[in-house]
Amino acid sequence: MPTTECNAIEQGLLGNTIGFLKKNVIKTDTNPEKGFPSSASRTLDFNDAGQTKQGGRLYSFTTPNNSKLINGLLTVSYLPWGEDSGYYIVLEPKGGPDIMMTATLSGCAVGYLRAGDGAVRVSHHNVQSYKMDFQQKKTLGFTKNTLHNSDYRYITEDTEGEYMFDRQGLGFVFGVRRNGKWTMYHQKVEQTFKSNLVMFESTIEIFSITDAGVF
C-alpha cells in the first residue's frame, strides 16, 4: 500500500536522514519535464519494489499512468529535469513541504546556493553535449555546492562466470528542513542488471548505495 511506503520515506528522511539514505533508495521519476512546471509542490506515491543490497528497501516512484497509483500521499518540493534545460526551485525557511527531492540523476548536475535569510535555491541542469560534465560545471558555476555528472556517473559491463553485469551510477539530491533550516543531502547509487548468459534467465535488477552524506 502507498501509505506504508510514503510514511516510511517521510519518517526516514525527517529522522536519521543519512542512516536512511545509506540503506534505502527512493527512485524518483526518470522522464524529462515538458514545459514549465506550475508548482514545485507535488504529491507523489511510491511502491515497495524490493530490497537494496544493504538490506533496506527500494521505493519506486509510481507514475500517473500506472494502475497502482491511488492518491498522492507524500507532498514534497520536487525538482524535475528537462533536456537541454535548467530548472530551479527556492526552498523557503517557512511554508511548503519539509522535504525536497530531485528526479533521478543519470547525467544531470544539481547545485545550490543559500541566501542570507535561510532560503536555498536549488538548480537542476541538463546539457546535451559530449562535454556534458564540463558544460554543466560552467552553467552551475554560480552555485556553492554541487553534485556533478563526474561525481556519481559511470557505466560498466563485465562478466563473471556465466553472468553478465551491467552497472550504472545514479545520483539523488534531497533537502530536509528542520526548525526553519534546510540541510542538503546527496546519495550515490549503483544500479546493476544481472543476466545469466547460459540459462537466458530474466535480468535481475539490484540497487546498492555507494555513498550518502551532506553536501
- Residue found under cell 497502482: 68
The ranges assigned to domains in the chain are 2-214
Percent of the chain with pLDDT over 70: 93
pLDDT at 38: 65
Q: What average pLDDT is seen over the chain? A: 91
Beta strands in 73-130 (DSSP E): 74-79, 86-91, 99-102, 109-114, 120-125
- For the chain, how many residues are written? 215
- Find out whether 215 and 151 touch, Cβ atoms under 8 Å: no
C-alpha 134/C-alpha 202 separation (Å) is 37
145-189 pLDDT, tens digit per residue, is 999 999 999 999 999 888 889 999 999 999 999 999 999 999 999
Percent of the chain with pLDDT over 90: 75
- Find out whether 173 and 110 touch, Cβ atoms under 8 Å: yes
57-111 pLDDT, tens digit per residue, is 999 998 665 545 445 789 999 999 999 999 999 999 999 999 999 999 999 999 9
pTM to 2 decimals? 0.91
- Residue found under cell 535569510: 117
* Whole-number Cα distances in Å, 64 to 56, 72, 99, 122: 25, 9, 21, 25
CB atoms inside a 10 Å sphere around CB 192: 16
* Cell matching residue 141: 558555476
How much is the CA Rg of the chain, to the nearest whole Å?
A: 17
